Amino acid sequence: MKTESLGEKLTPILVEIEGCLLDAYGTPPCFPDDGIDAAAFIFVSALMDRMWVQMMAVGLDLGTATELAERAGADVRALFKKYTGVEPLSRVDKESKRN
């Protein structure tokens, strides 16, 4: 029996969140800072997952793939900071330093 991936487990939850946002389309959800941070982390996780698959499919070496992933992460952080004023992924940074 195939083990369900984390992405497969989370997809129904993400689709439900998407549905809630679509149902309330036009009404600002008014996310607090920790909601923005969580959304950024989910977005970056999905981006990195798909990016990695694409980079491996074209045969990029690990060093180049890592560099591109780091650059993409920095770009996403800058985008969120510029347009929301929130320093995204700050909880992730704090957690990674504890481990």
Q: Tens-digit pLDDT profile for the chain (99 aa)?
A: 789 999 999 999 999 999 999 999 999 999 998 888 889 889 999 999 999 999 999 999 999 999 999 999 899 989 988 998 888 777 666 666 666
Q: Are the beta carbons of 33 and 86 closer than 8 angstroms?
A: yes
The domain limits of the chain are 31-98
- Whole-model pTM: value is 0.80
Q: Residue 89, Cβ neighbours under 10 Å: how many? A: 20
